[in-house]
């Protein structure tokens, strides 16, 4: 095992968590052949099979389960080291200010909450605004970081993708298109649309998709929140394209349905952004490192 690499163990851990080479590849932003190659090398190092195939899922062998126990111990030890190192660097005290666009409110509190569990003496604040207000705060340099679906082009910023953000077609669960497969985008465009206000990143992505295929969105209503859009969809006012993060509860409860529409979902990412050249505090640096860790290890809110 001395010849195995940390990356191989990361890939192995992702497969164990997700039960699929494909999902592990998506989770780690790798290609599936790369994941397969990493596991082939790790298997050769161990000298025994680590997984068994059963349909589309893979299951660990007894050797695989034993290796996973050791892998988790290694990762836990490294996490404890990170915390100790943070203490030595002075991250035990300080303040952190994060501002996020409204769609990010469905996952950002959980990420920030787990960060604060790691550093319980840090004072953290989370502000939720529409994109226009986020840009205003960014220009004024009011916060440590900003989370957006698309970095602004009008300001020089440092931006880093850290989480998948799939935009999906959404309708009520009893919509005429709800049970259809491979719906043409042109047919979907015939439906009345409920969209966020002009300037919204989700709206811009929707309009760009339709324009690329020579179509135009039939806007029935502009709404200033995702909650209002979801309620309007359930009331049969129309359809929409929304971030999958915003509809997880409604999908689980059966009130909304993700439609199978060609050219969808739109693959996007969430970005952590700050003014270009800004020197982060120790606390801000620790939060950015945590987001990188989150992206590499869990990205579990993605599709």
What pLDDT is stored for residue 87 in this prediction? 65
What pLDDT is stored for residue 302 in this prediction? 44
| Nearest CA-CA partner of 192 in 238, 259, 228, 240 | 238
Checking DSSP bridges between strand 266-275 and strand 157-172, what pairing results, if any? antiparallel
What pLDDT is stored for residue 293 in this prediction? 85
Angle, helices 6-18 vs 32-46, to 10°: value is: 110
What pLDDT is stored for residue 31 in this prediction? 92
Phi and psi for 299 in degrees, rounded to 5? 25, 30
Number of H helices, E strands in the chain: 11, 11
In angstroms, the CA 250 to CA 234 distance is 10
What pLDDT is stored for residue 296 in this prediction? 77
What pLDDT is stored for residue 3 in this prediction? 60
CB contact set of 252 (below 8 Å; sequence gap of 6+): none
What pLDDT is stored for residue 196 in this prediction? 87
The yes or no reply on domain 165-267 and CATH 3.40.190.10 is yes
CB contact set of 202 (below 8 Å; sequence gap of 6+): 103, 149, 167, 195, 196, 241, 242, 243
What pLDDT is stored for residue 92 in this prediction? 64
Contact by Cβ (8 Å): 98, 147: yes
Strands (E), the chain: 51-54, 57-60, 95-101, 123-129, 145-148, 157-172, 193-196, 219-223, 240-243, 256-258, 266-275
| CATH 1.10.10.10 location in the chain | 6-88
Q: Any bridge partners for residue 214, and if so which?
A: none
CATH architecture classification, 91-163+269-297: 3-Layer(aba) Sandwich (3.40)
Give the 3-state secondary structure of residue 44.
Answer: helix
Residue 238 exposed, middle or buried by CB count within 10 Å (0-12, 13-18, 19+): buried
Contact by Cβ (8 Å): 136, 273: no
In angstroms, the CA 111 to CA 98 distance is 11
Q: How many residues does the chain have?
A: 303
| pTM confidence score | 0.61
Q: Is the dihedral of CA 195, 196, 200, 201 positive or negative?
A: negative
| CATH 3.40.190.10 location in the chain | 91-163+269-297, 165-267
Q: What does CATH list as the number for 6-88?
A: 1.10.10.10
Secondary structure letter of residue 107 according to DSSP: T
Residue 4 exposed, middle or buried by CB count within 10 Å (0-12, 13-18, 19+): middle
In angstroms, the CA 177 to CA 197 distance is 25
The mean pLDDT values, 10 residues at a time, for the chain of 303 residues are: 78 90 90 93 92 86 93 83 69 82 90 90 90 89 91 89 90 94 94 89 90 92 90 95 90 92 91 87 87 72 44
Residue 150 CB coordination number (10 Å): 19
What pLDDT is stored for residue 300 in this prediction? 46
What pLDDT is stored for residue 301 in this prediction? 43
Residue with tokens 């999906």: 168
In angstroms, the CA 299 to CA 291 distance is 10
Q: What is the largest CA-CA distance in the chain?
A: 62
């Amino acid at each position: 095992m001395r010849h195995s690499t940390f990356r191989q163990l990361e890939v192995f851990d992702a497969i164990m968590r997700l039960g699929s080479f494909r999902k592990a590849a998506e989770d780690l932003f790798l290609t599936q052949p790369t994941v397969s190659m990493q596991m082939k090398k790790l298997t050769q190092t161990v000298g025994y099979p680590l997984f068994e195939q059963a349909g589309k899922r893979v299951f660990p062998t007894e050797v695989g389960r034993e290796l996973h126990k050791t892998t988790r111990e290694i990762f836990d030890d490294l996490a404890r080291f990170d915390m100790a190192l943070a203490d030595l660097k002075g991250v035990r005290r300080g303040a952190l200010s994060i501002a996020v666009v409204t769609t990010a409110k469905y996952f950002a509190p959980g990420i920030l909450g787990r960060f604060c569990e790691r550093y319980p003496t840090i004072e953290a604040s989370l502000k939720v605004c529409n994109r226009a207000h986020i840009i205003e705060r960014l220009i004024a340099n009011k916060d440590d970081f900003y989370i957006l679906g698309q970095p602004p082009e009008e300001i020089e910023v440092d931006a880093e993708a850290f989480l998948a953000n799939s935009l999906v077609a959404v309708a009520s669960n009893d919509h005429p298109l709800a049970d259809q497969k491979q719906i043409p985008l042109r047919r979907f465009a015939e439906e009345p649309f409920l969209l966020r206000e002009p300037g919204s990143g989700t709206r811009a992505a929707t309009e760009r998709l339709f324009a690329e295929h020579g179509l135009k969105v039939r806007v029935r209503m502009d709404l200033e929140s995702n909650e209002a859009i979801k309620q309007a969809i359930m009331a049969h006012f129309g359809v929409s394209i929304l971030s999958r993060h915003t509809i997880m509860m409604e999908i689980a409860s059966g009130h909304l349905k993700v439609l199978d529409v060609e050219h969808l979902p739109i693959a996007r990412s969430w970005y952590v952004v700050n003014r270009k050249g800004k020197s982060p505090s120790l606390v801000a640096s620790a939060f950015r490192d945590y987001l990188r860790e989150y992206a590499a290890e869990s990205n579990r809110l993605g599709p």
